């Protein structure tokens, strides 16, 4: 049976960058997929890729009036299309769209957890505040999918949902696309960025929001810049001025002008930047499964990440990289120095990282799990429909 599926996110970038291969495989299996996201340039790029797009303004920050309007518009959209499945992503998409889908009478509502909002380092009152939207989404959804195995254990233990409601789908990348480059590619990539072969290049990829740990990265870069000129920092990723925790553009300009950091902005082909890096860093505060860490490891770059859920699944400490405490610039700087001083260890960690990604984070595994899950949904909906 052909399913009519809505893939809903607040941001079109999530559709294009995180869900594209999932949409493609569902289309190949004969399902009709409609991407639902806020209007903007990303919606246009999704359309250009051959996917039907419906736009509804979904505010990413709390806004009661705009949130109610979004629920009303989503409900009307879901009724018009008569979707069999509404599949939601991102925090605001997971809060608003399941309610709209319930009101519209959608038969199956699925939410993918890309990283639980709450974590153990929060004060209890703050943890409760961030637990509530996760519980809300779980109540309104028929099924939850998780990219992280550890998130499943936490969700069950903290009573977000029961064990039989949540399923592991994982996260993965195209290993044929993200593959180790030769030294010629490294030199060319560095020339393109204005970097010397002798530089020790620390790369980071991510949206320019403080939740990704950029305050700590900037502080660590400042510390190391006073000790050596050979360490260079390169950041790849878009600014997100609509977020409350967006990195101030003035801060970006100041660091760029001082030579401490190089900001490359958004790159459609980020794979071309990884060969220039000696190591990769992601000092994030919260993650599901950090895709950039997967990409860096696949490119045989050792990864320094924070010791949090998600990052711990990707980075095996002292084997494929290093795990450092959250919000600790000094520990981050020390880890960078440690790898700078041991090129042989860097090379070995990079090799081990590639082996780990091949075994556990191949996108084909994710797509197979997703396909099997949707086949189950297809069977269930087929059994509910009256026979003619």
The SS3 assignment for 284 reads coil
Same domain assignment for residues 142 and 211: no
Q: Residues 123-147: what's their mean pLDDT? A: 96
Same domain assignment for residues 92 and 196: no
Quick: pLDDT tens for 339-355. Answer: 999 999 999 999 999 99
Between CA 67 and CA 53 the distance in angstroms is: 20
Domain-embedded: residue 308: yes
pLDDT range class, residue 121, cuts 50, 70, 90: confident
Same domain assignment for residues 138 and 233: no
pLDDT at 387 > cutoff 70:
no
Domain-embedded: residue 177: no
pLDDT at 75 > cutoff 80:
yes
pLDDT range class, residue 211, cuts 50, 70, 90: very high
Sign of the Cα pseudo-torsion (189, 193, 18, 322, in order): positive
Q: Residues 78-84: what's their mean pLDDT? A: 98
Residue carrying the six token digits 């091949």: 358
Quick: pLDDT tens for 218-248. Answer: 999 999 988 888 899 999 999 887 788 999 9
Same domain assignment for residues 323 and 204: yes
Same domain assignment for residues 198 and 318: yes
Per the structure, how many domains does the chain have? 2
Residue carrying the six token digits 């700087």: 333
Residues 6+ apart with CB under 8 A from 29: 371, 374
Same domain assignment for residues 66 and 21: yes
Phi-psi region of 111 (alpha: psi -120 to 50; beta: other; left: phi over 0): beta
pLDDT range class, residue 154, cuts 50, 70, 90: very high
Bridge partners of 55, per DSSP, are 37
Q: Residues 313-324: what's their mean pLDDT? A: 98
Domain-embedded: residue 53: yes
Domain-embedded: residue 178: no
The SS3 assignment for 87 reads strand
Same domain assignment for residues 23 and 38: yes
Between CA 69 and CA 268 the distance in angstroms is: 33
CATH of residue 108: 3.40.50.2000
Between CA 162 and CA 165 the distance in angstroms is: 6
Q: Residues 57-75: what's their mean pLDDT? A: 93
Between CA 215 and CA 95 the distance in angstroms is: 28
Provide the mean pLDDT of the chain. 94
Phi-psi region of 32 (alpha: psi -120 to 50; beta: other; left: phi over 0): beta
Look up the domain containing 379 and give its range: 4-172+363-384
Domain-embedded: residue 305: yes
Let me know how long the chain is: 388
Q: In terms of DSSP bridges, do strands 4-8 and 85-88 run parallel, antiparallel, or are they unpaired?
A: parallel
Same domain assignment for residues 100 and 194: no
pLDDT range class, residue 388, cuts 50, 70, 90: very low
Same domain assignment for residues 97 and 188: no
Domain-embedded: residue 368: yes
Same domain assignment for residues 157 and 269: no
Instruction: Please tell me the pTM assigned to this model.
Output: 0.93
pLDDT at 260 > cutoff 90:
no
pLDDT range class, residue 268, cuts 50, 70, 90: confident
Tell me the CB-side half-sphere exposure of residue 327, using CA atoms within 13 A. Answer: 6
Domain-embedded: residue 13: yes
Residues 6+ apart with CB under 8 A from 98: 86, 88, 109, 111, 137, 140, 141
Same domain assignment for residues 145 and 200: no
Q: What is the pLDDT of residue 128?
A: 94
pLDDT at 163 > cutoff 80:
yes
First and final C-alpha spacing in the chain? 15
Q: Which of 88-92, 127-131, 150-154, 186-190 has the lowest mean pLDDT?
A: 186-190
Same domain assignment for residues 167 and 236: no
């Amino acid at each position: 049976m052909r399913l009519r599926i809505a893939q809903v996110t607040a941001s079109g970038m999530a559709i294009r960058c995180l869900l594209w291969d999932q949409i493609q495989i569902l289309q190949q299996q004969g399902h009709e997929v409609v991407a639902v996201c806020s209007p903007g340039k990303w919606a246009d790029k999704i359309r250009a890729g051959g996917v039907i797009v419906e736009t509804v303004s979904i505010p990413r920050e709390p806004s009661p009036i705009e949130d109610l309007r979004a629920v009303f518009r989503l409900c009307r959209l879901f009724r018009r299309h008569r979707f069999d499945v509404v599949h939601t992503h991102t925090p605001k998409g997971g809060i608003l769209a399941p309610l709209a889908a319930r009101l519209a009478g959608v038969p199956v509502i699925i939410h993918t957890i890309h990283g639980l909002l709450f974590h153990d380092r929060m004060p209890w009152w703050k943890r409760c505040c961030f637990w509530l939207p996760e519980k809300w989404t779980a109540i309104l959804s028929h099924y939850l999918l998780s990219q992280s195995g550890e998130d499943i254990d936490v969700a069950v233990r903290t009573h977000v949902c029961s064990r039989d409601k949540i399923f592991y789908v994982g996260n993965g990348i195209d290993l044929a696309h993200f593959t180790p480059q030769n030294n010629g590619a490294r030199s060319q990539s560095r020339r393109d960025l204005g970097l010397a072969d002798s530089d020790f290049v620390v790369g980071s990829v991510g949206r320019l929001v403080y939740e990704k740990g950029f305050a700590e990265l900037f502080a660590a870069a400042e510390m190391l810049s006073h000790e050596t000129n050979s360490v260079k920092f390169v950041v790849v990723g878009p600014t997100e001025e609509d977020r409350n925790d967006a990195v101030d553009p003035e801060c970006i300009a100041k660091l760029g002008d001082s030579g401490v950091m190089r900001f490359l902005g958004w790159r459609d082909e980020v794979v071309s930047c990884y060969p220039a890096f000696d190591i990769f860093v992601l000092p994030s505060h919260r993650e599901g499964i950090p895709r950039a860490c997967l990409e860096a490891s696949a490119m045989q770059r050792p990864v320094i990440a924070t010791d949090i859920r998600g990052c711990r699944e990707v980075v095996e400490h002292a084997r494929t990289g290093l795990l450092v405490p959250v919000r600790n610039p000094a520990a981050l700087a020390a880890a960078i120095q440690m790898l700078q001083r041991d090129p042989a260890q860097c090379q070995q960690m990079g090799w081990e990282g590639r082996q780990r990604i091949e075994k556990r984070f191949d996108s084909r595994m994710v797509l197979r799990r997703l396909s099997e899950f949707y086949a189950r949904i297809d069977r269930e909906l087929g059994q509910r429909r009256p026979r003619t």
